[in-house]
Amino acid sequence: MPVYLFAISLSIVTVSQGLKLGPFVVEADSLLIPIVIIALVYVPYAARPIRGRVLALRQAEFVTAARCLGVPRWRIVLFDILPNVSTTLVVLGPLLMALSLLAESALSFLSIGVQAPAASWGTIIQDGEGLIYTRPMVLSPPDLPLCWWCWP
């Protein structure tokens, strides 16, 4: 499922009625709504490579040797597998941060992310959208970081 389509559908549902998770209720205008939506959208992008790395490490010789020595499972996970998975997390962290910034600005531009009193790249671009033909420089500063790949 496309990322933005999934994020938009989750946003529409949560913005209209808020988010109710058991005893916890998050209002529709809360800043936590876009955070939860973006986290739900990008969890599979992080979970799949980490799961693959853990499955590969599970068959490694040092894990098999630790199992044969009778080391508890929690200790194998904590001291053998987790340090080897941390390199994957270090690589995925900045990538997912950049993607989540773009997703947040896209949702805010469509008025289903961060709402108007709070500042966001998407809300700033949306505010300058009406002035695009008369004063294009109003739109340029928040839009420049979004199209960094256009620069030579």
Q: How confident is the model at residue 148 (pLDDT cuts 50, 70, 90)?
A: low
Query: pLDDT digits over 132-142, tens only?
Result: 777 777 666 65
Query: pLDDT digits over 32-69, tens only?
Result: 777 878 888 888 888 999 999 999 999 999 999 999 99
Query: pLDDT digits over 14-23, tens only?
Result: 767 777 777 8
Q: What is the pLDDT of residue 138?
A: 66
Evaluate if residue 6 carries a pLDDT over 90: no
Cβ–Cβ < 8 Å for 85, 28: no
> Is residue 80 assigned to a domain?
yes
Cβ–Cβ < 8 Å for 67, 32: no
pTM greater than the 0.85 cutoff: no
Residue numbers of the domain that contains 43: 3-115
Query: Mutual orientation of helices 3-17 and 32-58 as an angle, nearest 10°?
Result: 140
> Is residue 41 assigned to a domain?
yes
Q: What is the pLDDT of residue 150?
A: 52
Q: What is the pLDDT of residue 149?
A: 54
> Is residue 68 assigned to a domain?
yes
Q: How confident is the model at residue 115 (pLDDT cuts 50, 70, 90)?
A: low
> Is residue 133 assigned to a domain?
no
Q: What is the DSSP string of 9-76?
A: HHHHHHHHH-EEETTEEE-TT-THHHHHHHHHHHHHHHHHHHHHHHHHHHTSHHHHHHHHTT--HHHH
> Is residue 148 assigned to a domain?
no
> Is residue 135 assigned to a domain?
no
> Is residue 141 assigned to a domain?
no
Total number of domains constituting the chain: 1
